[in-house]
Amino acid sequence: GQNIDQPTEMTATEGAIVQINCTYQTSGFNGLFWYQQHAGEAPTFLSYNVLDGLEEKGRFSSFLSRSKGYSYLLLKELQMKDSASYLCAVTDSNYQLIWGAGTKLIIKP
Amino acid sequence: IAGITQAPTSQILAAGRRMTLRCTQDMRHNAMYWYRQDLGLGLRLIHYSNTAGTTGKGEVPDGYSVSRANTDDFPLTLASAVPSQTSVYFCASSGGTGGSYNEQFFGPGTRLTVL
């Protein structure tokens, strides 16, 4: 079966750095997405990785290792507005997105 | 319209009633999707459409039907609602299919409660 694992919840302090991990087992791999979802709102796109390595976009970075079936999202200089759920999703061999359950990130002052 | 709209925003429905959730996009995207999101579970695909005139079943299609008469609209119908269909429903679209980069854009969601 297809499976994507992420921690259910994480807590971090404003101004700090946090790393959210995602491991996946899917039928094929055609890219990995990270989305952000604030409570009561729709998911919004954060990053995309299809090749191994680190993609940096401002305070957010995403890393991919295809051989390990592993990705992480790194958030730097945390702000209160970063409190949200972070969803990992993998494009499988049929080009359908398989979604993880999401990681709820709580930022404390 | 800018992006994807969904209607209604929320709805309380009696079990056994028929309900259609509406979704419209103005980005001329080929592919559209319907997901449900339940607490503790990831987004689960109900139905999708790769292009106007075609539809396909996702992970949890039972009790739902869709149609794609044109590029812009992708309604989701619950023929006879049951309490287990209480959920938040998201419509999404993407520019193409068959390619690895397939960023999906989401509508604001419909919160449905079936009593």
Tell if the CB–CB gap between B42 and A100 is shorter than 8 Å. yes
Tell which of A47, A57, A97 to mutate to test the B interface (max B CBs under 10 Å). Answer: A97
Tell if the CB–CB gap between B100 and A95 is shorter than 8 Å. yes
Instruction: Provide the pLDDT for residue B103.
Output: 87
Distance of CA B42 to the CA centre of its chain: 15
Give chain B's mean pLDDT.
Answer: 93
* CA gap B48, A76 in Å, rounded: 36
Chain A residues inside the 8 Å CB shell of B101? 31, 48, 50
Q: Of A41, A95, A101, which is closest to B102 when you measure between CB atoms?
A: A95
**pLDDT per position as a tens digit, B42-58:** 899 999 999 999 999 99
Instruction: Provide the pLDDT for residue B25.
Output: 96
* CA gap B22, A91 in Å, rounded: 26
Instruction: Provide the pLDDT for residue A19.
Output: 98
> Measuring CA to CA, which residue among A108, A100, A106, A109 is closest to residue A25?
A100
User: Is B96 a residue whose pLDDT tops 70?
Assistant: no
Residues of chain A whose pLDDT is less than 70? none
**pLDDT band for position B12 (cuts 50, 70, 90):** very high
Q: Of A4, A42, A48, which is closest to B106 when you measure between CB atoms?
A: A42
User: Is B82 a residue whose pLDDT tops 70?
Assistant: yes
Chain B residues inside the 8 Å CB shell of A4? 42
Q: For residue B95, give Cα distances in angstroms to A44, A97, B27.
A: 15, 14, 8
Instruction: Provide the pLDDT for residue A95.
Output: 81
Q: How far is B3 from chain A (nearest CA, A)?
A: 12
Instruction: Provide the pLDDT for residue A51.
Output: 94
Dihedral angle of Cα B22, B43, A40, B30, to the nearest 10 degrees: -40
Cβ-contact B75, B20 below 8 angstroms:
yes
User: Is B100 a residue whose pLDDT tops 60?
Assistant: no
User: Is B26 a residue whose pLDDT tops 90?
Assistant: yes
User: Is B1 a residue whose pLDDT tops 60?
Assistant: no
Instruction: Provide the pLDDT for residue B67.
Output: 97
* CA gap A80, A66 in Å, rounded: 32
Q: Quick one: tokens of A14?
A: 């404003």
Cβ-contact B13, B67 below 8 angstroms:
no
